[in-house]
């Protein structure tokens, strides 16, 4: 792995892009990379592409430079794809990948299959922002760039809480903090604060949730008519699945919202042992062991049953593994 400078030889036009429906890590990684390149390499012509990000991210420097569409005959010497999880999830400029001179993809999704000019995927990394940091010269990171990367790390670790948060993650966050960023404000403003509508739909999803598998699984569904009633869009429902996961005794939280007639976006989170990326992969989605997603067609009851079948498989595997371990312990002891 070389620093980003090594990838810029004979390159003039660069496009940076992330995944559809961009989250904090995706936006933080893309804007961190954009600011680093534009601040340190003014001779380069750099564009950043993202689907319309939420207003809470507008504090980031150059937020107004984000492009939500590209010119018809656009082409780039280098495309930098960040946090995409798979090639078909690149937002806005997905159709330009094939014509790009070179493609550098930095990611932390086990399910990313690669096939780019350069591919650095570290499923052990907390976030793509942490991976991006490794490619930058720490001395050339400005306070504004640090804000973006710190935000990415904070969001994907559930504010330094999840199992993906390592000593290395904390060291990177500390280095970014030393740049003088308003770290506490960033977390409060972009992660915890919610609009009235966001809180309302969260409340509704919690009230309507139900437990099964003896309380190991919690599920909640939001129909399109409910979203309309509360005046919310998918962006306003980001935090619901993690709140469901906070329920004591729950191993897996499943949150579904209707995206179309007989179509649901599924978000899954697990706590200790279920690999939800395996479940998502069965339905053509992906993600991480403890956070994954997919889109499934069908009536919501059928969608839940199909997911339940996959979860059942993993619960059985887990029970068997526990039994084997107990037997071994008995024999050893
Ligand atoms: P979500 O629940 O949509 O926030 O997604 C959780 C994680 O899974 C994120 O890291 C996503 O990038 C990833 N993910 C979600 N949906 C998909 C999908 N359809 N294909 C691949 N990865 C996905
Ligand atoms: Mn992401
Ligand atoms: Mn990520």
217-258: per-residue pLDDT in tens?
999 999 999 999 999 999 999 999 999 999 999 999 999 999
Reduced to 3 states, what is the DSSP secondary structure of residue 157? coil
Reduced to 3 states, what is the DSSP secondary structure of residue 254? strand
DSSP 302-333: HHHHHHHHHHHHHHHHHHHHHHHHHHHHHHH-
CA–CA gap between residue 318 and residue 192 (Å, rounded) = 34
Q: Give the contacts of 40 (CB within 8 A, at least 6 positions apart).
A: 140
pLDDT at 7 > cutoff 80: yes
Structure tokens at 333: 């002891």
Banded model confidence at residue 29, pLDDT cuts 50, 70, 90? very high
Nearest CA to ligand 1 atom 17: 293
Share of residues in the chain with pLDDT > 90 (%): 96
pLDDT at 320 > cutoff 80: yes
- Distance (angstroms) between ligand 3 centre and the Cα of 168 equals 16
Ligand nearest to the CA of 111: 1
Q: What is the pLDDT of residue 91?
A: 87
CA–CA gap between residue 163 and residue 128 (Å, rounded) = 15
Q: Give the contacts of 188 (CB within 8 A, at least 6 positions apart).
A: none
Average of per-residue pLDDT across 9-26: 97
Nearest CA to ligand 1 atom 2: 267
Nearest CA to ligand 1 atom 16: 293
- Distance (angstroms) between ligand 1 centre and the Cα of 303 equals 17
Dihedral (C-alpha) 281, 283, 286, 291: value to the nearest 10 degrees?
-100
Site to probe by mutation for ligand 1, drawn from 108, 293, 296 as the one with most ligand atoms within 8 Å of Cβ, is 293
For 45-91, the pLDDT digits (tens) are: 999 999 999 999 999 999 999 999 999 999 999 999 999 999 999 98
Average of per-residue pLDDT across 125-148: 98
For 285-304, the pLDDT digits (tens) are: 999 999 999 999 999 999 99
Banded model confidence at residue 284, pLDDT cuts 50, 70, 90? very high
Q: What is the pLDDT of residue 116?
A: 96
CA–CA gap between residue 165 and residue 171 (Å, rounded) = 11
Q: What is the pLDDT of residue 57?
A: 98
217-222: strand order across its sheet: 210-212, 217-222, 252-260, 263-270, 291-297, 286-287
118-121: strand order across its sheet: 45-49, 13-17, 78-82, 102-107, 118-121
For 153-191, the pLDDT digits (tens) are: 999 999 999 999 999 999 999 999 999 999 999 999 999
Average of per-residue pLDDT across 93-100: 95
pLDDT at 97 > cutoff 80: yes
The ligand 1 atom nearest the CA atom of 238: 4
Q: What is the pLDDT of residue 114?
A: 87
Site to probe by mutation for ligand 1, drawn from 85, 108, 130, 289 as the one with most ligand atoms within 8 Å of Cβ, is 85
- Distance (angstroms) between ligand 3 centre and the Cα of 286 equals 12
| Average predicted confidence (pLDDT) for the chain | 97
Q: For strand 263-270 and strand 291-297, is the pairing parallel, antiparallel, or unpaired?
A: antiparallel
The ligand 1 atom nearest the CA atom of 25: 10
Q: What is the pLDDT of residue 192?
A: 96
pLDDT at 93 > cutoff 90: yes
Banded model confidence at residue 332, pLDDT cuts 50, 70, 90? confident
Ligand nearest to the CA of 127: 3
The ligand 1 atom nearest the CA atom of 266: 2
Which residues are near ligand 1 (CB < 6 Å)?
Answer: 19, 85-86, 89, 111, 241, 267, 285-288, 291-295
Structure tokens at 127: 């976030």
- Specify the pTM: 0.94
The residue behind tokens 């609009």 is 195
Site to probe by mutation for ligand 1, drawn from 280, 282, 297 as the one with most ligand atoms within 8 Å of Cβ, is 280
Task: Give percent helix, percent strand, percent coil of the chain, each to the nearest 5.
Answer: 45, 20, 35
């Amino acid at each position: 792995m070389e620093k980003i400078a090594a990838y810029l030889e004979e390159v003039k036009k660069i496009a940076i892009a992330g995944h559809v429906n961009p989250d904090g890590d995706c936006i933080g990684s893309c804007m961190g990379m954009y600011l680093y390149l534009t601040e340190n390499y003014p001779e380069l012509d750099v564009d950043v592409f993202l689907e319309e990000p939420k207003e809470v991210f507008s504090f980031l420097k150059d937020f107004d430079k984000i492009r939500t569409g590209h010119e018809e005959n656009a082409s780039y010497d280098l495309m930098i794809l960040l946090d995409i999880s798979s090639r078909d999830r690149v937002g806005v400029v997905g159709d330009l990948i094939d014509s790009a001179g070179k493609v550098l993809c930095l990611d932390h999704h086990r399910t990313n299959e690669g096939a780019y000019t350069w591919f650095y995927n570290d499923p052990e990394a907390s976030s793509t922002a942490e991976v991006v940091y490794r490619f930058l010269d720490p001395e050339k990171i400005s306070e504004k760039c640090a804000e973006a990367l710190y935000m990415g790390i904070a969001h994907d670790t559930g504010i330094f809480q999840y199992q993906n948060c390592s000593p290395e993650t904390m060291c990177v966050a500390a280095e970014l903090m030393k740049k003088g960023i308003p770290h506490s404000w960033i977390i409060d403003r972009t992660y915890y604060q919610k609009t009235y509508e966001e809180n309302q739909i969260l409340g509704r999803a919690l009230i309507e949730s139900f437990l099964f598998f003896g309380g190991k699984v919690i599920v909640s569904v939001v129909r399109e008519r409910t979203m309309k009633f509360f005046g919310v869009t998918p962006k306003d429902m980001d935090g619901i699945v993690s709140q469901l996961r906070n329920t004591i005794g729950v191993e897996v939280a499943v949150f579904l919202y209707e995206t179309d007639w007989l179509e649901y976006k599924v978000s899954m989170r697990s706590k200790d042992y279920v690999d939800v990326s395996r479940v998502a992969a069965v339905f053509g989605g992906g993600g991480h062991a403890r956070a994954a997603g997919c889109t499934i067609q069908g009536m919501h009851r059928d969608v839940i049953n199909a997911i339940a079948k996959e979860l059942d498989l993993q619960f059985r595997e887990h029970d068997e593994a526990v039994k084997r371990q107990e037997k071994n312990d008995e024999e050893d002891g």
